[in-house]
Amino acid sequence: MKSLMKACVLSVAMLVLMCGAAGAVDNFNAQGSALVPSILYYYENPDKLNYPYIILTNITGNTVQCRVVIYDGDGNNLTAFSQLIKGGVNWTSTYGISDFEIPAHSSRMFALNKANAMIHTIGYAVIEWKSDDPQLRKALIGGVQLHRKDGPALITNSHFLINNGDPF
């Protein structure tokens, strides 16, 4: 009887663990995506740094949900160092997120830029998007600007287009 009870308890425990793992599965279900190579980030002090800005524009008439995740050279997720920036009369920023919305015909800037984050890394980014419109196939265009500071002046180091400038 004790062994039957232990077996039942073990079975229930395994079932709970499996259900918990199933609940943790990411269900973003992207409709489109792009990879961004050559991400370079370092921060030594406010006058010696290098960081990327990923600028994304929604070219559709629908709001799209985006996910941008930047990975370092060892495959670690750097979302904790992210910054989402919305333009306008004043810039507004949200830190430490990877999921956000871009309204129809709007743009957002996603940066790996956290002051005093004393890290040096190379890596890549994965951009994914989805929409309430299941027929939508291409929704975003984008580019990357790499900025650096080596002294008091901010310099745009380089700029390149994501997906060769084609919608994805």
Residue 14, phi then psi, degrees to nearest 5: -65, -40
Pick 11 or 73 by higher pLDDT.
73
Cα 161 from Cα 69, distance rounded (Å)? 17
**Which of 10-14, 43-47, 119-123, 149-153 is predicted least confidently?**
10-14
Strand partners, 77: 71
Q: Are 64 and 101 in contact (CB under 8 A)?
A: yes
Q: Please provide the average confidence, as pLDDT, over all residues in the chain.
A: 83
pTM beyond 0.85: the answer is no
CA nearest to 60, candidates 138, 146, 163? 138
Reported as type and span, the H/E element at residue 68 is strand 64-72
Pick 10 or 147 by higher pLDDT.
147
Cα 92 from Cα 102, distance rounded (Å)? 14
Pick the CATH number of 34-165 from 2.40.128, 1.10.3470, 2.60.290, 1.20.120: 2.60.290
Percent of the chain having pLDDT more than 70? 82
> CB-hemisphere CA count at 13 Å for 99?
7
Residue 124, phi then psi, degrees to nearest 5: -150, 165
